[in-house]
Structure formats: C-alpha cells, structure tokens
A and B are shown apart, each in its own frame.
Chain A
Amino acid sequence: MKAVLDARQLTHGPEARRRVDTLDLQLKVGDRLGLLGVNGAGKSTLLQLLAGVLAPHAGEVRVMGHALSADNAGVRRHIGFMPQRVPLYGDLTVHENLAWAGRLRRLSGQPLRQAIDAALQRVQLGGLSQRLAGQLSAGMVQRLGLAQALIHAPPVLILDEPTAGLDPLQTENIRDLLKDLPADTSVILATHLLDDVQQLCDRVILLDAGRKVAEHAVTGQTDLLAHFRKPDTGVAAR
C-alpha cells in the first residue's frame, strides 16, 4: 500500500547535537503509529518536521507523494497537527478559534461552517462554542486542539502528547475521541504514556537522541515497558 506520509533520512539540528538524526518513517492509510521516547528524545521535533512547522536540515518529507517543502498550499492541507501546547486565542470564543483554524486551512463560507459544526460535534464541544477559549478546562482545551487539527478532515493527523497533563477521566475521553476517528485517517502520536500506545496504536517507534532505535507492532501482549527499557529486544521490527 502506498505511504500517505514518507520521511526519508530526516535530519534536524546542528551536527554536534542532532535533534532528529537520519530518520526514516512511513505511514500508510489508516496506520496508528506511536512515538515513544524519554524527554529530549526528539519526538516533538520529529512531529514538527512531519507537520511542516520546521524545515529539515537534510532529508525530506513527502505527503501523498508530494514533497512537503515544495508545495505549501497543496500538501499542508493533507495534515492536521495538534502541538503539545494547544494553539488557541484565549480572548476568542471556541467557535472563533475553530473558524480561524479553518480559514488557515483555506476553508470559507458554507464548507467552513459545516466543518466547524462537525468538529464541535466530534469533540463534544457543541454546547460551549460561544465560551471564551481562555475559560476552558485542560480537557476541553485538548478537545479544542483536536478539533482544530481535524477541522479540514485531513488524511494525516499528527498529535503531540494529546493526553499530557489530563486527569484519568479526561485522558479516557481524549482516547475515546481518537478511537472514533475515521478508519482511513492515519495518525502519528507522540506520548510518554505506554497506555496511550497500547490503546491507540498498532505500531510504535522508539526514539533515543533523535534516532529510531526500534519499531514494533503493538498487540495486546506487547510488553512496551520492556521494549522501552531495552528497545532491541522482543518483537521484531517491522
């Protein structure tokens, strides 16, 4: 099956201290890929490279067969990105924040209104659309971030620690939302939580110092903690 996202020899950062180092990564339609690694392993930098926030110093990212750097308008609309810190305007309402996220993705008029309604419904924020984003709880903020990333129905969704800082109920809520994503949406998810990977991903990549040290399929029996401690043991890399 053709890769919807294909990163080759991706490198970022100065030579002495690479944040991402000659990393290859492929994502096919419907894949759910987890990125695990300790703090500073390069997860967020990698996701920013894949989302086009950062430009790689070497290598390239291709989305739906097109280079990410070469065609901003055409390629970037295939990607939905939710950074670790949800990018919202606290003095604008939930609806206004979503409207802006949609306009940034070149939606307007009736399609934008429909996309906002659909996104609000998907993340269960419909009743709060007129509330100022600055007044939302942590869980609602994450849901708004997810709605921003989903507003243009992208085939590739990139999520940076979507459950970070949430209480168990809120975490479960976000996980349920992610489980309900359309089957043909490909997801890359960086997280510290092994449970996130176990419940949401069918594949996991372990990162250390910007390098991919292992790639495993995730099944119910996969002992992620063992792989995390010693990445070169256990299930064969795919």
Chain B
Amino acid sequence: MIVQVTLHEWRRQHAGLTFWLLLAFTQLIVAWLSFAQLEAFAEIAPQLRAGAATIGATDLVIMPTFNSLLLLLLLTSPLLAMGSLAGEVHSGRMALWLAAPVSSAQIVIGKVLGLWLAILPLVLSASLTLAALGLGVELDTARFGLGVAAMLTVALWLACITVFVSGLFDHPAAALATSYGVLLFLWLLDSLSGPSAPWHGWALLPHVEPMLLGLLRSQDLLYFISTGGAAVLLGIFLVDRRRGAI
C-alpha cells in the first residue's frame, strides 16, 4: 500500500502547476548559477594551471552550485509539501484516507516517499546540468557523485521534515510558514553560534558541507536518519491523533 500512496502523491504533485513552476524556476537558477561560476572559473583557470593548483572545476563550479541547490531545495520543498497532510485535512479528503484500509504509517511513509519522488526531478535536472559541464572541463566524478548523493539525502530528509510539519496543521498556509521557520532555523543555527555550542549538532549545514567536500561521515548519516526518522514517527503519531486513537 505504501507504493500506491507514494505513486498517488507523486501523481498529485505532477497534476498541479506548482510542481512545474518550481521545476522551471530551479532549473533556470541552477543553469544561471552554474554558467556564472563556469565563467568565473574560465577566467582564473590559466592562473590555476600555472600555479599547479589542486583545486579545479569541481571545487569552483560544481560544489558552489550544489550549495545553491541546497538553498533552492529548502525553499521549494515546503511549497510542495504544504498540502501533503494539511491539504488533505483542509479539503476534507482526510476522511477518505482514514476510512480506507490504510494505516497511519502507510499514509505518512507513502506521502514522504511520494514527495521525495516529486523533488527528485529538481535534483536530477540540476545534476544533469552540472554533469554536462564535464564535457568541457575535468570533473572529480567521485566527489560529484557524493554531491548528488548528498542532495538526494537532503531531499529525502526535507520530505520527512516538511510532511511532519504539514501534519501539524489543518491549513496548508500554516504548514508552509512553519516549514520555512523550522528549515531557516536549522539552516542558520550554526552561524548563530560557534561549533562548541551544544545545539551546533542540530544545524543542517555542518552535516551537508562535509559531503560536498567529499567526506562521508557516519555522524552526518546519523543526523539525517535520526531527525528524519523522528519526523516520520511524529507524523504517524499526528495522523493517529486525528483518528482519536491516541
């Protein structure tokens, strides 16, 4: 049943105009950013070659663009997720879900995976744009691959967080505003305090940047699994609460 819910959520996203506008917007921004970075790289490339520098297009074009893509995902995923649970409640469709032989876990996990599938084209189209640069410049394919994996991981994590937030509210607009608040907080948390602050581990960027630098650390994976998993469990709790079961 999770597969059915996932595919339904994916179809629902594609039927709406928001998805296509966000895809076009993201693609436009990524293309513009990557070509701007490439232009800047082309200007300094002779100096880098002359100085036998160890940094190249991967460091100066690909990774900064992935950083920008991360911000774009933070901006776009709440827009796609706001209706996933709150929209069902607001439009009265939640009754259809709750009356059906579907468990709360199947609803939430299906919604998360469906949202992730909907975000995937944003990540993949941006990644293909960046991969196309490999036709003209030399790329570090391992780091590029890890960068794509980082974006896919962040996209899944964002789906978990935003679907949970959507479950808190009866109106999509409230879910959207709160999702932006939560994500902005997690995004800025490390810049508001030093690395020694006890809440530094909750910040998002310190767990993404190592992956963009080519480091795959267990603590980063643990961060995404634990916070994303907790969000899914809380989302299931929220749907159960709507049934009055808790």
Contact = CB atoms under 8 A, between A and B. Distances in A.
Do A and B interact with each other, yes or no?
Answer: yes
A contact face: mostly helix, strand, loop, or mixed: loop
Interface string B86-102: 00000111111111111
A17 B146 CA distance: 57
Interface string A98-112: 001101111000000
Contacts of A55: 243-245
A86 B91 CA distance: 9
A105 B95 contact: no
A92 interface: yes
Contacts of A103: 4, 8
Interface in A158-204: none
Interface string B58-100: 0000000000000000000000000000000001111111111
B15 interface: yes
B149 interface: no
B230 interface: no
Given A104-B97, A104-B100, A53 B243 contact: yes
A89 B102 contact: no
B46 interface: no
B8 A83 contact: no
Contact of B92 (A12, A56, A87): A87
B100 A76 contact: yes
Contact of B1 (A57, A88, A106): A106
A83 B92 contact: yes
Contacts of A88: 93
Nearest to B87: A89
Contact of B101 (A53, A54, A72, A86): A72
Contacts, number: 75
A87 B101 contact: no
A48 B16 contact: no
Contact of B93 (A52, A89, A96): A89
Contacts of B243: 53-55
Interface string A74-92: 1111010101111111011
B103 interface: yes
A51 interface: yes
A173 to B, nearest CB: 22
A84 B94 CA distance: 12
A87 B244 contact: no
B49 interface: no
Contacts of B99: 51-53, 76, 79, 81
Nearest to A84: B92
Contacts of A51: 95, 99
A54 B95 CA distance: 9
A104 B96 contact: yes
B184 to A, nearest CB: 29
B244 A105 contact: no
Q: Chain B CB within 10 Å — which of A86, A89, A96, A148 has the most? A: A89
Interface in A52-77: 52-57, 69, 72-77
A52 B8 CA distance: 22
Contacts of B16: 91
A154 B101 CA distance: 13
B93 A87 contact: yes
Nearest to B14: A91
Interface of A: 12, 48, 51-57, 69, 72-77, 79, 81, 83-89, 91-92, 96, 100-101, 103-106, 148
30 contacts: A48-B95, A52-B98, A53-B95, A53-B243, A54-B98, A54-B244, A55-B245, A56-B244, A57-B244, A69-B245, A72-B101, A77-B101, A81-B99, A83-B95, A85-B92, A85-B95, A86-B92, A87-B94, A88-B93, A89-B93, A91-B15, A92-B11, A92-B12, A92-B15, A100-B8, A103-B8, A104-B100, A104-B102, A106-B101, A148-B96
Given A69-B245, A104-B97, 15 more contacts: A51-B95, A52-B98, A53-B94, A53-B95, A53-B243, A54-B98, A55-B243, A72-B101, A74-B101, A83-B92, A85-B92, A87-B92, A87-B95, A96-B11, A105-B101
